[in-house]
Amino acid sequence: MKTTHKNLLVAMTVSTLAISGCTSIGKMLDKKPETIATAEKSDAAYYQEATTALDKGYNREAIDALNNIRTFYPTGRYAEQALLDLIYAQYQANDFEAVTASTAEFIRLYPTSQSVDYALYVQGVTNMGGAPKASRLFNLDQAQRDTTYLRLAFQDFQNLLNNYPNSVYAGDAAQRMIAIYNEFAENELVAARWYVKRDALVAAANRAKWVFQYYPTSTGVPEAIAILAYANDNLGLTETANQYKTLLKINYPEYLNQDGSVRLSDTQAKTRGQKLLSAVSFGKLGRANNKTDGYQGQYNGQTRTQVIEQANSLTLPNRNNQ
């Protein structure tokens, strides 16, 4: 990897550290010499203990053993792998705040490691779930809450694709970028629907237009056209409304009734059914290892190439523009 890329990877972790905090890192760096001298086992013994615990699903026990390696043998032969396994164990233990601190530390300490893509991937998956101490992805409609962590996740995955296009995680990361992009469009549509219900049709039309402007290839475009047609029709702007209705008739006829009026009810579920909840199944997170990896992805061959190309074409607008 070029030096500039290494610097970029380190810089990209700053925003994550600022949000998640680095208390655990501070504790690691604050160890006194007399404390470090109290190791009860060799690094190999600690690592065997951690591996056994991970194999049994005892994540907390694994975390303790791995932290012992990092405390007592910070430059030993197991130090790098211990941090990678710690990331995995923390994720499995739902300690998401610790995960983002550990992934950021790994990228900082081992910028030339062949496992940086793993750290970026797990960091992105974790950020995709939302604020570490808030309700996670599985319990809350992402489009109806703050999107700061989604933006961080998109950045993590984009960084992975830019620097590690041949990574085993590239296809999954690309698909997650696409899901996040669609979710930002959905976020605009949530507002547009709210305005429609309150007959604030100018505001509804404006939010729908923003979907065109900022997310022109998103799955939210059909509904955005329908809202624009509906809003303009009810505002008495018949000519403009008919232009949007023509687009619906040609491309998305399911949004029109037989009499030519716009159908908004029940159509929203078509795109909302493919939300970030489905991202949980994109890939099965495994432990990173220099020789083997338990990750199971869905994308290979032509499909993988297509999804990566699609993701590389996406950009999120500057927050100040929204």
pLDDT tens across 181-203, in order?
999 999 999 999 999 999 999 99
Number of Cβ within a 10 Å radius of residue 113: 19
| C-alpha separations of 238 from 155, 222, 228, 243, 258 in Å | 42, 19, 11, 9, 18
Give pLDDT, residue 53: 96
Residue ranges for the chain with pLDDT beneath 70:
1-37, 131-146, 265-285, 289-302, 319-322
Number of Cβ within a 10 Å radius of residue 272: 16
Give pLDDT, residue 318: 82
Give pLDDT, residue 304: 82
Give pLDDT, residue 37: 56
Give pLDDT, residue 299: 60
Maximal CA-CA distance, the chain: 83
Residue 284 DSSP SS3:
strand
Q: Quick one: what percent of the chain has pLDDT higher than 90?
A: 65
171-182 residue pLDDT tens: 999 999 999 999
- Tell me the C-alpha distance between 33 and 48, whole Å: 25
Total-model pTM: 0.79
| Distant-in-sequence, close-in-space partners of 42: CB < 8 Å, separation ≥ 6 | none
| C-alpha separations of 273 from 100, 181, 197, 255, 282 in Å | 29, 15, 21, 16, 15
What does residue 21 show for φ and ψ, rounded to 5 degrees?
85, 165
